[in-house]
Amino acid sequence: MRVYNFSPGPSALPLPVLERAAAEMTDANGTGQSVMEMSHRSGDFRPIIEKAEALLRELMEIPGGYRVLFLQGGASLQFAMVPLNLAANAQPDAQPGAGKRALYVETGIWAKKAAAEAAKYAEVVTAASSKDRAYTYIPSAPAPAPDDAYYHITLNNTIVGTKWAGLPETGGVPLVADISSCILSEPLDVSKFGILYAGAQKNLGPAGTTVVIIREDLIGRAPEWVPAMLRYDVHAAEGSMYNTPPCYGIYIIGLVLQWLKDSGGVSAAARRNREKADLLYSYLDHSSFFRSPVEKPFRSLMNIPFVPVEEDPEKRGALEKRFVAEAAGEGLVNLAGHRLVGGMRASIYNAMPLEGVGALAAFMKKFEEKARS
């Protein structure tokens, strides 16, 4: 029996995708071989990566003048690649932070890590932070200066469960966003951004592949000393095949994108995601036992943390452990909150059906009733 997997990543994949991948494991597209065995330079693999890119462009309505790259290293490697390509000092022996100025909005742990990594190669300025209220909201942020290298945000914050309700005004300064946990969850105007990047393992495919969508005029800005593997121009020139790409991950991404297209596309996914999120938030807002720590205007559609109302830390911790264990016994798995914040968290990406969220809400009600008796 398959469980309802609420993991924040690697996360659940659509069952039809898994079934098709299983059927094609030893013979993909009639080639007599698995994608795992294919040469990335072969005529058998090229249609796979080309179809994945075409589907992504179609579903996200990526305009002309943007390149799509399939890379490795996760979003964490992009924390370095973005400043290395857009803001690094021309001299390799420059002091840390000696590059161009870049603005970062600190809205959670991953946003903070992105800024810390960038500070090795650029002059990083924290434009705004929501740390004062445990990252439970998105702060207002000032506009950048015209000569700033870029303006970085984390569009959806996986750990704390917040998302940007609107985009900051950046003028001519490129807006860069980590969209790992919200890509394809609702429509997004790609033309508003200079760079979008996403680790695939949350809402797009298996771990090991990173998608980068970059405006063409931002390619080729890296100083000569930046290693080839960390240069957007190198990967763009080679069509994401400067080295062996994550072939199987790209194949699965293509299957996920086809499933999403067959399911009505991004707008239909957004309607389903809103319905799922509303169901769970409605329960939390009417419960006197559980609560959402996130301020309402900034609640994520994808990652929903919740905690017991119990104020005693020891009792609250015991309740959380018991909840996670008993939920797993009911086939509702990976509900523990991030180790740095505790509590519980339900990640309800595109592949999570409404029935799974309904089963979680029903279990929460049952758990609450039993805890009170």
Instruction: Indicate which residues carry an active-site annotation.
Output: 110, 178, 202
What span, in angstroms and rounded, lies between the C-alpha atoms of 193 and 152?
Answer: 10
How far apart are alpha carbons 370 and 264 in whole angstroms? 40
| CB 199, CB 74: distance < 8 Å | yes
Do you find a cis peptide bond into 10, omega within 30 degrees of 0? yes
Sign of the four-CA dihedral 186, 66, 118, 210: positive
Instruction: Report the alpha-carbon distance of residue 126 to residue 87 in Å, rounded.
Output: 15
Polymer length of the chain: 373
Residue 76 amino acid letter: S
What span, in angstroms and rounded, lies between the C-alpha atoms of 40 and 70? 13
Angle at alpha carbon of residue 8, lines to 57 and 235, rounded to 5°: 40
To the nearest 10 degrees (0 to 180), the angle between helices 265-286 and 247-262 is 80
Beta bridge partner(s), residue 347: 303
- SS3 of residue 16 by DSSP: helix
